[in-house]
Structure 1
């Protein structure tokens, strides 16, 4: 817990912490919501993506039972949020649902182009959920970065670096240390004070007033 406290206190300022995983279906459903939160925060506190590591390091292929479980969630998210899904994904054989590569890729973009982090996250989500692209592959992740203006020869060395891997693991440790077990999660940081805006999916309108009240509050001294 000391590591968690020090990592939060290290940036004792007002900001929005967004805990998510690119291969979390409810995070894909939340994509329009985080865009609305970003709009509300325009010119104010920054939004920092924190990699959740939903299934980071998974090595076992999806079984028939686990495919059914995932598909059930996709239908629920589609019904609740209207976000599109390509169910051709479930025709894949022996797919290993390892979320570490996509988490690592978003952390790499966070390092290279912080202002583009959420745009890249949304592009990876769309590629996976709506276009049935395999975002466990670094060539796909690099191609998505290229489409957003980051050349592959810039993206790949950073993505592959030990520093980015450690930053991703640090994000996951922070997520676990704060006891966050559901994604997406929004935590509002003001100085060393942390307050959860949501743990799990919520429509923007359901939390808009709380967010605006927090935005209007003065920064706390550290």
Structure 2
């Protein structure tokens, strides 16, 4: 299938969204299984921005939500993250995280979904804030990228502007929760699966949507 024929999908996520972390493995498996026919872009949604960019302790529902996420997806949360949650001082700033995603995905040869997953491991496994350049230098090394180039991109006004553009794109798509996987066809935009969907369920949903669109 040529690039012009690829099925277009958008993944709206937030690096500080636990449900996105839980959804990640299934989405990765789905993307790998359908790599020859899909084109997937990853956009940051801006869950914790402005007055919502607060220390994690300001969100007391999070531990209970994490238990539910583990129950439904099987994902586990790391010791570093549990310590950060207990300490409560890390500020979840989605604008910083979105800028970090831009800095990573803008490098040559990067898979944006891999970059998003690496960021979520930094927080949900290691408990590292996504607001400082140091974490992106380390993620760059993990992803085989130029650490200084990534750090420079993270600090650039252009990356911050692109992150803000992500937020605008997500709002234009009428996304009201995360994770959201969207399928774009000639007939419009459809939601694909949900946060507890398996890779097989996502592939079946994709096939059903495409069959319906073809028949329409």
Q: Shared fold by TM > 0.5? A: yes
Counterpart-to-counterpart distance in 2, 1:97 and 1:197: 27
For 1:156-195, what aligned pairs fall within 5 Å after superposition?
A: 156-191=151-186, 193-195=188-190
Describe the superposition over 1:83-114 as per-residue Cα deviations: whole angstroms up to 9, x where unpaired. 11132122324321112222211122222135
Answer yes or no: is 1:111 the counterpart of 2:103.
Answer: no
SS of match in other structure, 1:188: strand
Q: Deviations over 1:157-190 (max 9, x none)?
A: 2222222211111111121222211110011112
For residue 49 of structure 2, give the secondary structure of its aligned residue in structure 1: coil
Q: Does 1:133 align with 2:125?
A: no
Q: CA deviation at 1:141?
A: 2.0
Q: Is the 8 A contact 1:25 1:77 kept in 2?
A: yes
**Residue 66 (structure 2) pairs with residue 74 (structure 1):** yes
Q: Which residue of 2 aligns with 1:7?
A: none
User: Within 1, Cα distance between the matches of 2:14 and 2:108?
Assistant: 19
| Contact persistence 1:23–1:99 (CA under 8 A) | yes
Counterpart contact for 2:92–2:129, Cα < 8 Å: no
Q: CA deviation at 1:199?
A: 5.3
1:141-168 CA deviation, whole Å, 9 max, x = no partner?
2211122111221112222222221111
Given that 1:16 and 1:45 are in contact with CA atoms closer than 8 Å, whether structure 2 keeps it comes out as: yes
Instruction: Mark the runs of 5 or more structure 1 residues left unpaired by the alignment.
Output: 1-10
Aligned partner of 1:43 in structure 2 is 36
Aligned equivalents of 1:148 and 1:78: distance in 2?
A: 26
For the 8 Å contact 1:15–1:47, the answer to whether it is kept is yes
Post-superposition offset of 1:139? 0.9
TM-score by length of 1: 0.82
Q: 1:17 aligns with which of 10, 20, 27?
A: 10
2:48 to 55, 61, 69: 55
2: CA distance between counterparts of 1:51 and 1:165? 12
Matched residues, number:
207
Structure 2 unaligned spans of 5+: none
- Looking at structure 2, the residues matched to 217 and 39 of structure 1 have their Cα atoms a distance apart, in angstroms, of 23
- After superposition, the CA RMSD in angstroms is 2.6
TM-score by length of 2: 0.84
- 1:14 CA displacement: 3.5
Cα 1:127–1:190 shift into 2, 3 Å: same
Decide whether aligned partners of structure 1 residues 81 and 200 sit closer, same or farther in structure 2, where only a CA change above 3 A counts. Answer: closer
